[in-house]
A and B are shown apart, each in its own frame.
Chain A
């Protein structure tokens, strides 16, 4: 997609036309997934209705389905993200008061693109440009926790109610945690050099991006993200397929059901050291919910996997003192626990 057509209008038209055709093919294929996967399983020498058949059917159906959904979601998000560069986000947040600033920051955290290796430059850049510490944290918490790819997949696989509640509670945790950290006045706990950095002179002009460039950005995102996470997803679907076919429903309802009060903290403790891609977790979530696991417990698990990752904390150690990292992890973990219990109380 890097070779440009001679005139930009022609190129834009080609993109719009190509997207329309691709969408038509996408929907036609998507509708055939269920019958085709049934047919495929029927061709295998497996007894219909057995544990194995149930697992294999889940796998055959979910693999193309999740990969197709992921491609669509990532493309759309890639285009949306081309509107929100980190530079623009910083300009929007600089000098914002706490409160409003925390809310804006956590929403921008969802759409602003940056990779985890940019967490430190971003953090320093925000703080040195006068974005309050608590507001910066709201941004840093919501970015991994409310993952836009996870949100899109949840919406498609588990339903809009779960997707919306995940969004609402993820945002609430980011807003509240950032606000609390801001109230605690912990600026002194930053590593000394961070406080001394002056904001660099206005670095880059964002420049105007036309639609061709935005679509290209979407396509780049597909190549990069789908290319990187597809094996996580297949592993996740395989785990989901096993749960779907072999784990008896009563078992999960007992261990991860709303009745087991300890299931929420247990889910968080299991989730934090796990470093997985949010996209790989969703098929597992889908299967767990189908077997009677409580929604709050499952969401707590998912959020702790994505929002509190060890590698990210190790990276942040370069700019934050250990005490500040501990406060950050503690506040976020408490928020996740609260969400877990609240959900189990609401949805059981």
Chain B
């Protein structure tokens, strides 16, 4: 089970990224526990400067903007 967090205040891009993560994980058959983080203090602890951010197993893999599909798959498989 991979622990995935999507960090963002709830803007449109953050929702897009959340949907992308879910779709990619389903597609790859990787079980994930997906959590949305909207608390600014929580985001600050991860040291994220721009949203949306993606944290997989407590490691920041992406910050700012919508990631590329291929990168997202690579992070999920790692």
Contact = CB atoms under 8 A, between A and B. Distances in A.
A118 B64 contact: yes
Contacts of B68: 2
Please classify how large the interface on chain B is, using the bins under 10, 10 to 19, 20 to 34, 35 or more. 20 to 34
A86 B8 contact: no
A200 B41 contact: no
Interface stretch (B17-25, B28-36, B46-54): B46-54
A262 interface: no
Nearest to B41: A193
A315 B10 CA distance: 12
A128 B13 contact: no
Interface string B33-73: 00000001101111111110000000011111000110000
Interface stretch (A52-60, A95-103, A119-127, A287-295): A119-127
B47 to A, nearest CB: 2
A317 to B, nearest CB: 11
Nearest to A129: B47
A319 B47 contact: no
Contacts of A125: 44, 47-49
Contact of B63 (A120, A126, A194, A203): A203
Contacts of B69: 2
A201 interface: yes
Contacts, number: 77
A257 B40 CA distance: 45
Contact of B40 (A85, A121, A202, A203): A121
A199 interface: yes
Contact of A121 (B13, B49, B60): B49
A126 B50 CA distance: 11
Nearest to B50: A118
A346 interface: no
With a 10 A CB-CB cut-off, give which of A193, A194, A203, A318 has the most chain B CB atoms: A203
A113 B49 CA distance: 11
Nearest to B12: A117
Contacts of A187: none
B41 A114 contact: no
A203 B64 contact: no
A90 interface: yes
Nearest to B68: A2
With a 10 A CB-CB cut-off, give which of A125, A128, A318 has the most chain B CB atoms: A125
A315 B38 CA distance: 13
A8 B13 CA distance: 29
A214 to B, nearest CB: 14
Interface of A: 2, 85-87, 90, 113-115, 117-118, 120-122, 124-126, 128, 193-194, 197, 199-204, 315, 318-319
14 contacts: A113-B64, A114-B49, A117-B9, A117-B14, A118-B49, A121-B40, A121-B43, A121-B49, A124-B43, A200-B44, A203-B46, A203-B47, A203-B48, A203-B60
**3 nearest interchain CB pairs?**
A200-B47, A117-B11, A118-B50
Given A120-B40, A125-B47, A200-B45, 12 more contacts: A86-B50, A87-B49, A117-B9, A117-B14, A117-B51, A121-B40, A121-B48, A125-B44, A193-B41, A194-B44, A200-B60, A203-B49
